[in-house]
A and B are shown apart, each in its own frame.
Chain A
Amino acid sequence: MFASPAFHPSQEIQAPIAPPCEADDLEFGELYEGNLSLLVAIAVRKFQVPEVDAEALAHEVFLSYLKRKNEIRQLHPWLIGAICHACRYFWRQNGRRTDQLDQELAMLRPDPDSINIFDLLPSQLAVREVLDALPPRYARILRMRYYEGYTIREIADDLGVTAKYTQKLVGKCLRMAEQMYNAAPARKKT
C-alpha cells in the first residue's frame, strides 16, 4: 500500500540546480595554487598520508571538481570534504594491498632487526602498547617493518624517500619506541 503511485520518491539523481559557485570568478590556476597546500596539509596531517600520495590525491580532487563544478555551491567545504574522503578511501585501498607476512617464512628468515626489537621488549603486548603511543607516522613505519615484513626499499618507495633516509628513519622510530618503553613507570620497576 505504501508504494502506491502517489508516494513521492526523491527527485531523480543528478541535481540540475546549479547556483553560482564562489569559484566561478576565479581562474582555475589560481584556484589550484591557492588551495593545493591546504589539501596536501589535510591529507598529511590529519590522515597521515605520505606527502607524495597526498599531492596526487589533492590533484585528483581538483580534477574531479572540474566535472562537478556546476553543482558545487561552496568551494571550500566541498574541497575539504572531498580530500577527507579521498584519504579514507586511499587507506582502505592501501590496507587491502598490504600482504600479510607469511608466519612460517618469517620464522625461517627472520629479519635481524625484528629479533633485536623482541629482545629489547619483553613481550609482543608491550610492543603493541608502545606502538599505539607513538606518533602515527612512526608507528606505521615500525608496523610495516616489523609486523608486515616490508623491506627498507619497499618502505622507502611507499614513503617516496630514499632507502638510506628510510634506514635512519627506522632507527629513529626504534629509539623513540625504546625511550617510551623505558619511560613507562610501571615497567621501570620490573
Chain B
Amino acid sequence: MKHSDDLRHLAECASCRQRFAENVVPFDAARRRERALNFAAAAARLESERGETADIVARQLRDTPQDEWPRLAESKALRNNAALEQISEEVRRRLERNPTQALAVANLAAAIAETISASAYPPLVVAQIRSTALRDRANALRHLGRLDEAYDAIETAESRLNEFPAAVHDRATIWLVKAMILAQLDHFPEAEQMINAASVIFADVNDSTRFVQAGVVHGNLLARQQRYAEAENIFRDLLTVAASSGDGETQARLHNNLGYCYVNLDDCTRANIHFSQSIAKFTDLGSASEVARTERGAGVVLIGKGQYEAGCGHLRQARAAFTKLQMPEEAGLCALRIIEALVERGETGEARDVADTIIDEFTAAMLDKRAIDAVVRLRKSLDADGATAEAVRTVHAFVESLALDETPAS
C-alpha cells in the first residue's frame, strides 16, 4: 500500500491518519474541552432518549383517531428527537401506501419540531430535527402531487440548515428530495444539478444506499426526457454497485428500469431479459406483489411498442399472480389491458371472453357495483362491435380510480 495524505487513503489507513493529525495544536484548550463535553452531553441525551422511547409513536398513532393526531403535538412523550425519528419512519412507511396519512403524520412531526425548545439540543441538532420534519412533509406533499407546496416545504427544510456547513449529509438528502420535486415540475436541468451535487456527497460519505437512490432518480429523470441511452448507462452502472453490495431489491428495480430503457431503445430482446431478471429477483425476495406489478408494467410497455404477444404474455402472468394474491381489482385491471390490446387488433371475440371473466371475478369478490357495471357496459359494446381501445382505457381508468378511493385509511 502506498501511504499518502490523499483523503481517500486517509479514510482507510489509521497510521496515516495519525501522522496527518499530528502537530495540530489545539487553538484553545479550554474551548476544546468545553466542546468535547458539549458533544458528550448531546450524545448521552440522544442515546438515552432512543433507549427510553421504544415504540411509543406507533402506539400513540394506533390508539388515537387520525383526526385527533394534531393534538399529539402536545404529548410530552413525543416532544424529543427519538420520538421524531420514529415519526419520520412512520411517514416513510405510509408514503407509497397512503400518502394522505403520511402527510398527516408529517404535519404532526413538523408541528413538534418547529416548537421544540431551541435549547433542548445543540443548535445544529435542532436544525437537523426541524429540517428532517419539513423534508418528510415535502415528500408527503410530493406523493400527493401538491408540488408547489412540496417545493416550498423543501426550500424551508434546506434553509433550516443554512447556518451549518457541517450538516452535509442532511443537506444532500434534502437536495435529493428537491430534485424529485423539480423533476415532477419538469424543471429537468435544475433537478439534474441537484442530483449531481447530492450524489457527490453520498459518494464521499460512503452512503452507497442513497448514492444508488440518487442514481435511480437521475436515470428516471433522463428517461422522462426520453434520453434512454443515457438512462440505460446509469442504471447499468448502478446495477454493478447494487450487485457488489448484495442489494437484491435494488437490483430487481434496476433490471425493471433497464427493461423499460431497452423497450424504448427498440431492443425488445434485451428488454425481455431484464424484465425476466427483475421478476426472478423479486421472486427470490418473496415480493409476490412486486413480481405481479413488474409483469404488468412490462406488459403495458411492450404492448405500447407493438409487441402484442410478449406484452399480453406478461399481462396474463401478472393477472394470474394478482389472482393468486387475492387482489381481484388488480387482476381485473390487467385483464382490461389485455382487452384493450385485443380490441386494437380486432380480436373482439377473445376480448368478450376476457370481459366475461372479469365480470364473474368482480361479482364473486363483491367489488364496487359501479366497477362491475362499467365492465358490463363495456361487454355490451363489445357485443355490438362498438368498443374502441379508447373506451376500454376509460373503463380501466374508472375502475382504477374506484380502487384508489377504497384504499384503506390505516
Chain A interface residues toward B at CB < 8 A: 1-17, 28-29, 32-33, 36-38, 40-42, 44-46, 51-52, 55, 57, 59-64, 66-68, 71-74, 76-78, 80-87, 89-90, 93, 160
Pairwise interchain contact A89-B7, C-beta atoms closer than 8 A: no
A11 contacts across to B, CB distance below 8 A? 213, 249-250, 253
B213 contacts across to A, CB distance below 8 A? 10-11, 13, 15
The listed residue with most B CB atoms (<10 A of its CB), out of A3, A46, A64, A93, is: A64
Chain A contact residues, majority secondary structure: helix
Chain B contact residues, majority secondary structure: helix
Pairwise interchain contact B206-A77, C-beta atoms closer than 8 A: yes
Task: Give complex CA distance A28, B206 in Å.
Answer: 21
Given A11-B249, A37-B24, A73-B206, A67:B128 Cβ within 8 A:
yes
A-B CB contact pairs (8 Å), 13 listed:
A2-B226, A9-B216, A10-B212, A40-B24, A45-B20, A55-B26, A63-B39, A64-B170, A66-B46, A66-B125, A67-B46, A67-B170, A80-B204
B135 contacts across to A, CB distance below 8 A? 13
B167 contacts across to A, CB distance below 8 A? 60, 64
Pairwise interchain contact A82-B205, C-beta atoms closer than 8 A: yes
Pairwise interchain contact A14-B204, C-beta atoms closer than 8 A: no
Other-chain residue from A40, A64, A76 in contact with B169 (beta carbon distance below 8 A): A64
Other-chain residue from A6, A13, A42, A55 in contact with B139 (beta carbon distance below 8 A): A13
Task: Give complex CA distance A42, B17 in Å.
Answer: 10
Pairwise interchain contact B300-A6, C-beta atoms closer than 8 A: yes
B22 contacts across to A, CB distance below 8 A? 37
Within 8 A of A (CB), among B1-36: 5, 7, 10-12, 17, 20-22, 24, 26-28, 31-32, 35-36
Other-chain residue from A41, A63, A76 in contact with B166 (beta carbon distance below 8 A): A63
Task: Give complex CA distance A45, B104 in Å.
Answer: 48
Task: Give complex CA distance A51, B31 in Å.
Answer: 13
Within 8 A of A (CB), among B152-176: 164-171, 173, 176
**How many whole Å from A136's CB to the nearest CB in chain B?**
15
Other-chain residue from B27, B164, B216, B252 in contact with A51 (beta carbon distance below 8 A): B27
Q: What is the size category of the interface that chain B forms with chain A?
A: 35 or more
Task: Give complex CA distance A80, B201 in Å.
Answer: 11
**How many whole Å from A35's CB to the nearest CB in chain B?**
8
Pairwise interchain contact A6-B166, C-beta atoms closer than 8 A: no
A14 contacts across to B, CB distance below 8 A? 88-89, 92, 173
B176 contacts across to A, CB distance below 8 A? 13
Task: Give complex CA distance A82, B203 in Å.
Answer: 11
Pairwise interchain contact B177-A13, C-beta atoms closer than 8 A: yes
Given A38-B21, A59-B35, A67-B46, A10:B201 Cβ within 8 A:
no
Pairwise interchain contact A82-B166, C-beta atoms closer than 8 A: yes
Task: Give complex CA distance A81, B226 in Å.
Answer: 34
**How many whole Å from B110's CB to the nearest CB in chain A?**
16
Pairwise interchain contact A55-B42, C-beta atoms closer than 8 A: no
**How many whole Å from B167's CB to the nearest CB in chain A?**
5
Task: Give complex CA distance A37, B46 in Å.
Answer: 24
The listed residue with most A CB atoms (<10 A of its CB), out of B17, B27, B28, B165, is: B165
**How many whole Å from A78's CB to the nearest CB in chain B?**
5
A83 contacts across to B, CB distance below 8 A? 166
Look across to chain A and name the residue whose beta carbon is closest to the beta carbon of B254: A8
By Cβ-Cβ distance, the 6 closest A-B pairs, closest first, are: A6-B297, A60-B166, A81-B204, A10-B216, A81-B205, A8-B253
Pairwise interchain contact A32-B39, C-beta atoms closer than 8 A: yes
Pairwise interchain contact A3-B224, C-beta atoms closer than 8 A: yes
Look across to chain A and name the residue whose beta carbon is closest to the beta carbon of B13: A76
Pairwise interchain contact A160-B223, C-beta atoms closer than 8 A: no
Pairwise interchain contact A2-B264, C-beta atoms closer than 8 A: yes
Task: Give complex CA distance A3, B125 in Å.
Answer: 38
Given A12-B95, A77-B205, A57:B39 Cβ within 8 A:
no
Given A10-B213, A15-B210, A5:B296 Cβ within 8 A:
yes
Other-chain residue from A44, A66, A74, A78 in contact with B42 (beta carbon distance below 8 A): A66
Q: Does B43 contact A (CB under 8 A)?
A: yes
Task: Give complex CA distance A3, B250 in Å.
Answer: 18
Q: Mark B90-102, 1 if CB is under 8 A from A, else 0.
A: 0010011000000
